[in-house]
Structures are given as C-alpha cells and as structure tokens.
Amino acid sequence: MGKDKNLLFSVLFVLLIWCIFAYSFKSGPSLREIRDAREFMLMDMQALIASGGKIEFYDPDRKTKLGRADLTLIISADSWGYELSNIYQAIMSANGWEKIDNESDKITFCKDGAFAFMTKPKRGEDDHPMNGVIVMEFDGATLKRCHYRKR
C-alpha cells in the first residue's frame, strides 16, 4: 500500500509539472510571432527616425533574447519638443499603433500585441530639456496588456 501511494504521488507530481510547463509555453508568444512583431516594430521605428530628431541612442534589438523583442530610441534633448513629439505620434497612429493612455509623463500605444511608450517633452532640474525616449516591446506581458487575441 505504501509503494502504491508513493507511485500515485509521483505520477501526480509529474503531471502537475508537465501542466505548468505546457501552460508556460502556451501563454507566451511563439518564435514566429516574436519575429513578426520585431519586423513591424523595426519598420515603425525606422519611420520615426526618418522623420527627424537627433539620435542619442538606438537599440534595434540585435541581442539574442528568449521570448521577447524590444527596441529603444533616445532622441537628444535639443531636438525633442512638442512639434517632433506630435509628428512621432502621428506616424505611430498612421502605422496602426492605437493610443492607449496619455499619462502625465508618457504616452502609451498598442499594436498587434506589442506595447510602446513615448515620453512627453519636459524639462528637468535647472529647467534643462530632457531627452525623448521611445520604447517598443513584445512578449507575453504585452500580449496581455494590449488585450491581444491570437488569430
């Protein structure tokens, strides 16, 4: 009877681990979805770059990451202002990014399960303008945040 009980607990434990493992794969995006999202995010980021602004830093997601894609663009403070911010917002909207929130310090967007934010032009200490930051991300969390349903 003791051996049967241990065997039953072992089988149940293995089934539980297998279910958790299977769910973790199901809840995140597939490699194809990540590649597709990275592709449209790169094209959209290139459209922003082409519209102006002095680039301080650009990370086009060349590092190998598992289960996610993210791009970061930092625009120099001397070229980041309301006019350029409005141009960038118009480009994002024209490329299918839906404005989700217009918070006090940033604007957030969603597109096909990807999430993006753009900092608003503002001044820091000593009344110096601050850099503009645009980040685009795609992973399991952004799929949930953007309420994306797989087709």
* Predicted pLDDT of residue 102: 86
Does residue 11 lie in a domain region?
Answer: no
In a domain, 20, yes or no: no
Is 68 inside a domain boundary?
A: yes
Mean pLDDT of 80-99: 96
Considering the chain, what percentage of its residues have pLDDT values greater than 70?
A: 79
Q: Is residue 76 part of a domain?
A: yes
- Which position has the token pair 């490699």? 31
Q: What is the mean pLDDT of residues 79-83?
A: 95
| Across 52-75, average pLDDT | 89
Domain count across the chain: 1
Sheet (strand 106-111) strand order: 55-59, 69-75, 132-138, 114-119, 106-111, 98-102
pLDDT tens per residue, range 19-54: 555 555 556 788 899 999 999 999 999 999 999 999
Does 17 fall in a domain?
no
Say if 2 falls within a structural domain.
no
Taking each helix axis as running N to C, give the angle between helix 31-50 and helix 82-94, from 0 to 180 degrees, rounded to the nearest 10: 140
Do 134 and 117 contact (CB within 8 A), yes or no? yes
Instruction: Measure Cα distances from 55 to 28, 71, 106, 117, 132 in Å.
Output: 32, 14, 19, 17, 9
Q: Domain range spanning residue 47? A: 29-145
**In a domain? residue 50:** yes
Query: What would the pLDDT profile of 114-147 be if each residue is shown by its tens digit?
Result: 999 999 998 877 878 899 999 999 999 999 999 8
Whether 106 maps to a domain, the answer reads: yes
